[in-house]
Amino acid sequence: MKTNKFVLILGAGYEQLPIYYLCIKKSLKIIAVDKNINAPGFKFANHKIITSIRRDKNLIKKIIKSKKDIVAVLTMANDIPLIQYKISKALCLKGISATSAKLCSDKSLFYKKFIKNKFNIPNYNEVSKKNCNIKNLKFPLILKPRDGRGSRGVFYIKNKKNYKNYLNESFKTTKKKTLILQQYISGTQLSTESLIYKNKIYTSIGIRNYKDTKYLLPYIIENGGYNPAQISLNMELKINQILLNIAKILKIKEGPLKCDLVINNKKIYILEAAPRFGGGYVASHITKILYNCNFLETYLDILLNNKIKKINFFKKKLYVCVRFVFSNKKGKIKKIINPNYKDIKKNIIHSVFFKKIGSILDDPKSHADRIGYVSTFHKNKFMALKIANKFISRINIVT
């Protein structure tokens, strides 16, 4: 069925590709926006706007100038709430709220608001180049930009040694005049992705894995994790209630909510929250495998005002393991040798390489420096991990 209806997709990178595939499946046309002329999503786009989503002050004018019948604005794994809100508002389309756009684009505003509403937030100070106040805080600490994304400019501060160097490095990634210096909370780190619809919340709760990447400290880079998290039903219900309360403050009536939480002595702390789906293909691939519900497709139906009879969400007796590809090699990639996986293919959900031949490798400093990704599933949690590790161990990066 031919249509002249367009979905505006903010970003044309590998993490946004699931949106492109869904639009093609639903016979929708695509306007793609990305500054990278070689972005993989562009080959699926009917109309391209090659520009920076974050820095182009005339982006909305360019979108309107296209004179396309845009029916939805969507992104994922792309932390641009304020920009996404402004575009949706200018086009008079469903989208994120002004409140969530404002609060989730500035961690300082976010923390102040949620502390005022009695949520558990790790102790923190705002610090500047002139005022590096660490009073009332105990090491280790986390230093991060107020407007950061993808772990850029985030440091694990073990003690006072080289603290000012980390401060200067973090300031290079932000236009704000202050940074967040926050107490590190040990415990079980969780990543949640939720879809809120008609006063109900459907949540995927995963455990984040930092054990494999401790050698990269002071840079904090996640290496996937497990889903679903093995927590008690009582804790799961408690987390969902907290997420609903977060959604209420952010004025999310229907749509996505991504949060980073940590459980310490049965106390749940909020580290981050955003009105979007995250990276790692959770909302597009993993929710379908584990819960029989593709969050991304359901949300697109919501944006399109398609009739949704029922969200058929239930937990299957399966485990998913996500792992990323890292390399200790430096230089330009000459070849990626990716051998046959016939023996484990049936247990691989999705795999992708973010880096290609010609990409430059250096020591990883943020999530953007990861080379590739794989997600696997199995009825046994440890087998899912074994399969993921087998996949990664066979890859050979030649520089």
pLDDT for residue 295 is more than 80: yes
Instruction: List, for residues 170-217, the tens digit of each pLDDT value.
Output: 999 998 999 999 999 999 999 999 999 998 999 999 999 999 999 999
Instruction: List, for residues 84-102, the tens digit of each pLDDT value.
Output: 999 999 999 999 999 999 9
Q: Which range is least confidently modeled, 130-144, 199-213, 243-257, 340-354?
A: 130-144
What average pLDDT does the segment 296-312 reach? Answer: 94
Instruction: List, for residues 330-388, the tens digit of each pLDDT value.
Output: 899 998 888 789 999 999 999 999 998 999 998 899 998 999 999 999 999 999 999 99
**Cβ distance 315 to 382 under 8 Å?**
no
Question: What residue type is 178 in one-letter code?
Answer: T
Rounded (5°) CA angle 107-367-120: 30
What average pLDDT does the segment 71-92 reach? Answer: 95
Query: What domains lie within the chain, and their CATH numbers?
Result: 5-95 (3.40.50.20), 97-115+187-315 (3.30.470.20), 123-183 (3.30.1490.20), 317-399 (3.30.470.20)
Rounded (5°) CA angle 128-134-139: 125
Give the per-residue pLDDT at 86. Answer: 96
Provide the Cα torsion 375, 378, 381, 384; round to 10°: -40
Tell me how far CA of residue 221 lies from CA of 55, 192, 209, 210, in angstroms. Answer: 25, 17, 9, 7
pLDDT for residue 3 is more than 80: no
Q: Which of 26, 95, 40, 78 is nearest to 294 (CA)?
A: 26
What average pLDDT does the segment 253-272 reach? Answer: 96
Q: Which of 40, 319, 351, 179 is nearest to 9 (CA)?
A: 40
DSSP state of 39: -
More confident residue, 162 or 223: 223
pLDDT for residue 1 is more than 60: no
Q: What is the mean pLDDT of the chain?
A: 94
Give the pTM.
0.94
Q: Which of 189, 205, 209, 259 is nearest to 237 (CA)?
A: 205
- Cα–Cα distance, 92 to 47 (Å, whole number): 20
β-partners of residue 225 are: 208, 322
pLDDT for residue 164 is more than 90: no
Phi, psi (5° rounding) for residue 133?
-75, 115
The structure tokens 């066979």 sit at 394
* pLDDT range class, residue 2, cuts 50, 70, 90: low
